[in-house]
Structure 1
Amino acid sequence: MGAEQAKLVTAEWLAGEVDKPDLVVVDASWYLPSAHRSGHAEFLAGHIPGAVFFDHDKVVDPDSELPHALPSPEVFAAAAGALGIAADKRIVVYDGAGISSAPRLWWMLRLFGAEDVAVLDGGFPAWIAGERPVETGESNRLGTHFAAKPRLEAVATVEDVQRALDRGSATQVVDARSSSRFKGLVAEPRPGLRSGHMPGAVNVPMTDLVEDGHLKSDHDIKGVFAEAGVDLDRPIITTCGSGVTASVLAFGLARLGAEDVRLYDGSWSEWGARADLPVAVDEA
């Protein structure tokens, strides 16, 4: 997947397109509980005109205990359609942090068959920085049909990760969590999870790909992965806490043209909770 399939658009561009009937704008804001922020509450207080709100905590696999577990194509299509999102529309996703949770929806939309999906660089802060208009309250966009065409080969399971971590495997596991969480120096924000990382994984904090809420240049992102020892020509599995910020890495890798990238949907919420899976901790 190259840069043309990992589209990044500016607030200036979006301002000229926001009223077009073939465009759907989606607020995909989500925050860790420790941030004490509500994506939906902030959407109601102000959002890009015409936008709809996608709730990462609700559009999930109802049979899984894991947070943000990927829903079935049927569940996702029903939720997207109810919001007025069609797979054949142009779609722009954004979040309230700049670049954080929006790439998760970009990844899901692409996974389930949408072709033309872009992320708003700088997110809602970039939109309001230009003193552009905002709407308040719930969206009144009419529902539609989302024709799902799943590409589930982009999803990695815990077994895939175990195989990738075997000595001699060509596949690299790249963790998007902060350095302190990866090293096991701090407690996980979700109760019941061990601290540390998968033995053999490498750490590329998603914040290393972002500067002042904007995605860094492709050149700088390439340097970040190179410094971490990530080979773009070898298979990669991205992971994080619950599958959200791992999508930022997936988006950045797609910008660079990396072709064999999967996302471990269970991420540390699954791995860190299972006593039968090994955990490594770095010295302080």
Structure 2
Amino acid sequence: MTGEHSTGDGGDSDPAENATRRGLLRAAAGATVAGAASTAGCLGVTTPADVAAQNEVSGNVGHFVGPSWLADNREDTVVLDARDPERFREERIYRARRVPFDAVTARESTEEGDVPDADAIASAFGEVGVSPDDDVLVYGASVGSRVTRVAFALAAVGHEGSIRVLNGGLSAWNGRLGTGSRDRVSPTEYEPEPDDSAWVTREWIADRVGTFNADGPGLVDVRVPEAYLAAAGSDALNGDHDRHGHLPGAVDVHWVGNVSGRRMTEPTRLVQLYESEAELDRGEPVVVYGDDNVDPTSTWLTLKAIGFADVRLYDGGFGEWANVDGDRGRYPVETATNVVVETDGSVGGDDDGGDFSCTG
């Protein structure tokens, strides 16, 4: 098994190890400069320190933190990598642990509808040595939905420690790096305490149809407008769905509006987007959903970060709702009434499964 290689200085080491460290430093500098160019509209940033500074988080924002926070708290924080195995092996934050993504998206079927599979999720965290009371920071290539899904999964199993996300992703980090296979970590017995206030079920939504974004909870569809609008012939329509459209009363705010390159969108813009334009009420619960249970976690965490206290995920997603068996009159799909809030965002790296360009 290949061990970690630190990019820090100091201590006795052989020439081969020093060469490895120098190579990692050069690779890190190149990656962070390239990342900064994409996150800041392709500005000519020249040093890793500049990139790190661009990704600091200020103001009254929860959950998202900058590189300096991690540098100050690294010894007391479990760092989780949300990227795929190949990227993890190539380069990562020193002593980070990779969480199997399939496990943290696991669902189980109940009479009320699909819900997070707390046992499978907790087992995945336990396998990489996470304990329920650990303070955890999650990072990826950006702050895309892979990262926020890991954060949601922790909340879903009732994680007692703090849950944070690294703004800017790996490119923002100018500290120690590692490479190769993961360190050996001792598994833990992670006993989940499922927090069902973090999600809602199909039946919970069905009981409240007709009240969303009116006299009851807020409801946000995070998909692209073409899917929300059931635009005929659009590639955005999922061919596996029996029906197209959106849940009655939902307002569409595409989740990519939460992200600017590799970092979160400016908080003042996010407040404007969700409070002024989407007209969500902070005094009511807000439910978010997408086609699956990954992308909407970006909006789930973003709303919590800007001060919405009661934000919940419909884990079954539109895929469950559109294809439900039985009396579909209880689970209507709407197309006639539409509210689309325009967003302007772009995701750097591969945290949304796509590519990023300067023209976004």
Q: Do the structures match in fold with TM over 0.5? A: yes
Q: 1:82 aligns with which of 127, 131, 138?
A: 127
Name the larger-Rg structure: 2
Provide the residue aligned with 2:56 in structure 1.
none
Runs of 5+ consecutive residues of structure 2 not aligned to the other structure: 1-58, 339-360
CA distance in 2, matches of 1:192, 1:45: 35
Query: Which residue identity is paired with 2:82?
Result: A
1:274 paired with 2:330, answer no
What is the CA-CA distance between 1:265 and the residue it aligns to? 0.4
Counterpart Cα distance in 2 of 1:63 and 1:254: 25
Is the CA contact (8 Å cut-off) linking 1:175 and 1:201 kept in structure 2? yes
C-alpha change, 1:58 and 1:202, in structure 2 (3 Å) is same
Number of equivalenced pairs: 265
Of 198-207 and 164-173, deviating more is: 164-173
Question: In the alignment, is the contact (CA less than 8 A) between 1:177 and 1:203 conserved in 2?
Answer: yes
Instruction: State the alpha-carbon separation in 2 of the partners of residues 170 and 69 from structure 1.
Output: 22
1:142 Cα shift? 2.2
Match in the other structure for 1:112: 157
Distance 2:190 2:317 in 1: 27
* Mapped contact 1:6–1:117 kept (Cα < 8 A): no
Which of 239, 244, 264 matches 1:215? 264
Question: Which of these residues, 229, 237, 240, is aligned with residue 183 of structure 1?
Answer: 229
**Closer/same/farther in 2, CA of residues 201 and 5 from structure 1, 3 Å limit:** same
TM superposition shift of 1:63: 5.0
Of 71, 74, 99, 1:54 maps to 99
Describe the superposition over 1:148-176 as per-residue Cα deviations: whole angstroms up to 9, x where unpaired: 33221221001122233324641121111
Going from structure 1 to structure 2, the CA distance change for 1:95 and 1:191 (only over 3 Å counts) comes to farther
CA distance in 1, matches of 2:63, 2:166: 9
2:216 pairs, out of 164, 167, 170, with 170
Letter aligned with residue 240 of structure 2: G
Cα distance in 1 for residues equivalent to 2:272 and 2:62 = 18
TM-score (norm 1): 0.82
Corresponding residue to 1:201 among 234, 244, 250: 250
For structure 1, list consecutive stretches of 5 or more residues without a partner in the other structure.
30-38
Aligned to 1:258: 308
RMSD across aligned positions (CA): 2.8
| Structure-2 separation of matches of 1:174 and 1:183 | 13
Amino acid at match of 2:137: V
Q: Within 1, Cα distance between the matches of 2:334 and 2:68?
A: 45
Identity of aligned residues (%): 26
**Residue 208 (structure 2) pairs with residue 160 (structure 1):** no
Q: Distance in 2 between matches of 1:13 and 1:131?
A: 12
Q: Specify whether residues 59 and 104 from structure 1 end up closer, same or farther in structure 2 by C-alpha distance, changes over 3 A only.
A: closer
Provide the TM-score with structure 2 as the length reference: 0.66
Q: 1:34: which partner in 2?
A: none
Q: Give per-residue Cα distances to partners, 1:190-247, cap 9 Å, x unaligned.
A: 5412432212101111111211221123322110102122222222111112121211
- Counterpart CA distance in 1 for 2:97 and 2:228 is 34
More divergent stretch after superposition (263-272 vs 159-168): 159-168
3-state SS of the aligned residue for 1:88? Answer: coil
Deviation, structure 1 residue 248: 1.4
Aligned to 2:194: 150
After superposition, the C-alpha distances for 1:25-72 in whole angstroms (9 at most, x for unaligned) are: 11123xxxxxxxxx222222222221111223234547559xx95113
Runs (4+) off by over 6 Å: none
Counterpart amino acid of residue 132 in structure 2? A
Matched residue SS, 1:224:
helix
Secondary structure of residue in 1 paired with 2:309: coil
Kept in 2, the 8 Å contact 1:48–1:124? The answer is: yes
Cα distance change on mapping 1:189 and 1:92 into 2, 3 Å: farther
